A and B are shown apart, each in its own frame.
Chain A
Amino acid sequence: MDLHDLTAGYALDALDDDERARYEEHLASCESCREELQGFWEVSAALGRAAGGPMPPPSLRARILEQARSERPNVVPLRRRVATPVLATAAAVAAVVAVALGVWSLGVSNDLDDANDALAVLSDPNARVQTTADGEANLVVTPTGDAALVVRMLAPAPNGKDYEIWVFEDGVPKPAGLFEGPGVAMLSRRVAPGQTVAVTLEPDGGLDAPTGDAIFTASL
């Protein structure tokens, strides 16, 4: 099937789950579909604004704000937290939509395979999401251990430096990929339950063992 002609159906949310997953994977590597989709999405949003319908009850506003407050990034370092499927799904959907809209850079060297792999991780409904202690990054891990790091707020790496990702295996940090700033980075190692992932700033190209301070840590 030609995935290009799913663009209109995708913009209208008229694809079934299977078609949607395949189309999202396709989007990561198809600039012309992303462009077309952006235009179609503006149209479907216009349809949304024209929907009419009643006003929400005043209690909804308070409930959303209260729930948001309770999800404020936690400040206990390395606290373990199991994401519920609902939470994982909402975050992953928002992330995939953002990537598809082209509003989210893929952080890893524009490598298309990595981009596809990262999208697959983000769109896996069974993936678990772990927020780093400072709330500035999410570690998303599928049941098979494939992992992507979603970095929201981070200064771009200075000249001559890269951010390096580490996965602690039996307490020993092993290199798991490089990135340069906010975006989505695909980890080159699998992450198992109980393992810790950390990010440090290292010389260009990365090292075999970390020398910098941990900028992010997250434990699954």
Chain B
Amino acid sequence: MPVRARDLAHLSDEALVALVSRSDESALAELYDRIGGTAYGLAYRVLRDEALAEDAVQEAFLGLWRSAGSFVPERAKASTWILTLVHRRAVDVVRREQRRRTEPLEAAPEPAEGSAEEAAWLRLDRERVQAALAQLPDQQREAIELAYYGGYTQSELADRLGQPIGTIKSRMFAGLARLRELLDDERERTSWTSTT
């Protein structure tokens, strides 16, 4: 007998994935309630289309439903896995549809309000990442934003920016490595606020 959704509130995302792997629908619902909004926001940012963004989120959560047993929580965060699936799907669709996205460097649209607590956490998270992005050299930030939010391949970026592909690869690598440092530092400084 599946437990009610509210009984799952105290479980970690990773514990929920373990329940999902045993075909527990209420655990899938709880994970959706936690991550679905972020997942949709990401898909929408890449796809700029409501129906396609819904499709990307649906495919990602169904991928989770079918494959949750493969997830081992010590190695990665469940939300990272889910967002990776959403992003992969969104990028594949944006390329297939040739839906070349307006200008991906424009500011992120303001998210609609979820619960106050969730909204506060998401806003903190977003500010933290945006602050880290702002510290990157312009060219690295541009390569990362066009690739991740715009769905461009490195070859397309090389054409678009008029640079050799090797240069694009180096900018992506240097930018991601720097972001990782910045976010790690930040996490250490604020770890006392973390609840996970």
Q: A39-B180, A61-B36, A90-B62 are in contact. Are A72 and B85 (CB under 8 A)?
A: no
> Is B112 within 8 A of A44, CB to CB?
no
Count how many chain B residues have C-beta atoms less than 8 Å from C-beta atoms of the other chain.
Answer: 83
Interface-side segment among A5-13, A113-121, A164-172: A5-13
Which of B65, B73, B110, B130 has most A Cβ within 10 Å? B65
Q: How far is the CB of A152 from chain B (nearest CB, A)?
A: 3
> Is A54 within 8 A of B112, CB to CB?
yes
Q: How far is the CA of A137 from the CA of B144 in the complex (A)?
A: 38
Q: A49-B125, A97-B88 are in contact. Are A71 and B172 (CB under 8 A)?
A: no
Residues of B within 8 A of A63 (CB): 54, 58
Q: How far is the CB of A137 from chain B (nearest CB, A)?
A: 9
Q: A49-B38, A53-B40, A67-B62 are in contact. Are A61 and B32 (CB under 8 A)?
A: yes
Interface flags for A164-199 (1: CB within 8 Å of B; 0: not) read 000000000000000000100000000000000000
> Is A49 within 8 A of B83, CB to CB?
yes
Whether A38 sits at the interface, judged by CB under 8 Å, is yes
Residues of A within 8 A of B88 (CB): 13, 93, 97
Whether A94 sits at the interface, judged by CB under 8 Å, is yes
Partner of A12, one of B37, B54, B148: B148
Interface-side segment among A99-107, A155-163, A211-219: A99-107
Q: A45-B80, A60-B54, A60-B57 are in contact. Are A55 and B70 (CB under 8 A)?
A: no
> Is A49 within 8 A of B25, CB to CB?
no
Task: Give the contact-size bracket for chain A.
Answer: 35 or more
Q: How far is the CB of A133 from chain B (nearest CB, A)?
A: 14
Whether A46 sits at the interface, judged by CB under 8 Å, is yes
Residues of A within 8 A of B175 (CB): 8
Q: A60-B58, A103-B70 are in contact. Are A13 and B41 (CB under 8 A)?
A: no
Across the interface, name the chain A residue whose C-beta is closest to B50: A57
Q: How far is the CB of A177 from chain B (nearest CB, A)?
A: 19
Q: How far is the CA of A182 from the CA of B75 in the complex (A)?
A: 16
Whether B162 sits at the interface, judged by CB under 8 Å, is no
Across the interface, name the chain A residue whose C-beta is closest to B29: A65
> Is A48 within 8 A of B87, CB to CB?
yes
Interface flags for B22-41 (1: CB within 8 Å of A; 0: not) read 11010011001100111111
Partner of B25, one of A8, A41, A68: A68
Q: How far is the CB of A16 from chain B (nearest CB, A)?
A: 5
> Is A68 within 8 A of B44, CB to CB?
no
> Is B81 within 8 A of A68, CB to CB?
no
Whether A43 sits at the interface, judged by CB under 8 Å, is yes
Chain A residues in the interface with B (C-beta under 8 A): 5-9, 11-16, 38-57, 60-61, 63-65, 67-69, 71-73, 86-87, 90-91, 93-95, 97-99, 101-105, 135-136, 138, 150, 152-153, 182
Question: What are 10 A-to-B residue pairs whose CB atoms are below 8 Å?
Answer: A5-B169, A8-B169, A8-B172, A46-B183, A53-B40, A68-B62, A69-B25, A93-B89, A94-B63, A135-B23
9 additional contacts, CB 8 Å, given A45-B84, A49-B126, A51-B149? A9-B154, A15-B154, A39-B180, A50-B130, A52-B108, A90-B63, A93-B89, A94-B70, A182-B69
